[in-house]
Amino acid sequence: MASLNLVLIGPPGSGKGTQAARLARRYGVPHISTGDILRQAVRDDTPLGRQVAATIAGGSLVGDELISSLVAERLTRRDTDEGFLLDGFPRTLNQAHVLDKLRDTLTVVHIAAPDEEIVRRLSSRRICQSCALTQSVSDAGNNEDCPYCGGRLVRREDDDPETVRKRLATYAALAGPLIDFYAQRPGYVEVNGLQLPDKVTADLYAALNARL
């Protein structure tokens, strides 16, 4: 089987995390999250990790050059020889150009969902203060109590509709040019993120299997 170098793109609330875990497990490739890379670099106290720690401590965002260097280092490890799944990189066109130099064959998966559907989906999400299960209020009925443990269901602050719209606007400003960049290439796959998670997964498997 040919190596599968995956880049996963999708707005917050699109189910990207669920699909990333399923794809990595199905195809036996490491799930590489930029958040995990940053945390690991700091824990390892590498020279790059110390730069990350200093940047974060100073209240700044980790720039293109630094995150690109961390990803480049991660892709030198043997577990990526047969492929990988990148989640959270690239985020900018500059990062995309760096990735092209690191690996010349990419499959870019875009999980698409319109903003208002994401707002509706996240606005209906609740977390139980007792058991910490996340669920939709449609699943829990109209009660304010968790149907599993009886604890109180609350909305996370970042699931407030206006907060979600701001997050989506930030995402679109970065992801829009990135999607345009990749959509012209033969390795681009777009699936409908409004479907049930299992249907999204099935569509992804079908599209990716056709490329292997």
Q: Which of 91, 103, 155, 165 is catalytic?
A: 91
DSSP H or E stretch at residue 136 = strand 134-136
Q: What is the rounded CA–CA span in Å between residue 13 and residue 164?
A: 9
- How many Cα neighbours within 13 Å face the side chain of 105? 9
Q: Which of 16, 22, 74, 121 is catalytic?
A: 16
Q: Which residues pair with 87 in a beta bridge?
A: 8, 33
Active site residue 77: no
Active site residue 125: yes
Q: Which of 156, 166, 199, 211 is catalytic?
A: 156
Ordered alpha helix ranges (H), the chain = 16-27, 34-44, 47-57, 64-74, 93-102, 115-123, 161-183, 197-209
Q: Which of 22, 74, 121, 167 is catalytic?
A: 167
Active site residue 156: yes
Q: Which of 26, 103, 125, 155 is catalytic?
A: 125
CA distances from 163 to 24, 123, 155, 157, 166 (A): 30, 10, 12, 8, 5
- Residues forming the active site: 16, 91, 125, 156, 167
